[in-house]
Amino acid sequence: MTHIDEVAAVDQLSLRGFDKDLARRIRELARREHVSLNKAALLLMRRGAGLVESEPSSTAVGDALDRFIGRWSAADEKRLLAGIAPCETVDAALWK
């Protein structure tokens, strides 16, 4: 039994009013860690409260700045990659 399981067995708390971004982040963590939504929410709360360290491989920023810089759609990405494709070509004659 993990520490999260021990805490969950002792106390219960109902939370309401999750915004879309927080709900998405909980689901992403649950999927990535292969745990329930409840365990993912508990882990995020413990991290936020400074009770456990964040995983070292996680990105500190993630998509937190997207609202300031925007997001690319799949179509935007495809256009960019098509536009820079000629720059990816190596001219063998230049490497002689």
pLDDT in tens, 62-83: 666 777 777 788 899 999 999 9
Residue type, 45: M
pLDDT above 70: residue 57: no
pTM for this entry? 0.45
Check residue 10 and give its pLDDT: 57
Report the pLDDT averaged over residues 23-41: 91
Check residue 26 and give its pLDDT: 92
Structure tokens at 77: 């990405």
CB atoms within 10 A of CB 4: 19
- pLDDT band at residue 24 under the 50/70/90 scheme: very high
Check residue 79 and give its pLDDT: 94
Instruction: Give the sign of the dihedral formed by CA 74, CA 75, CA 81, CA 82.
Output: positive
Report the C-alpha gap between 14 and 12 in whole angstroms: 7
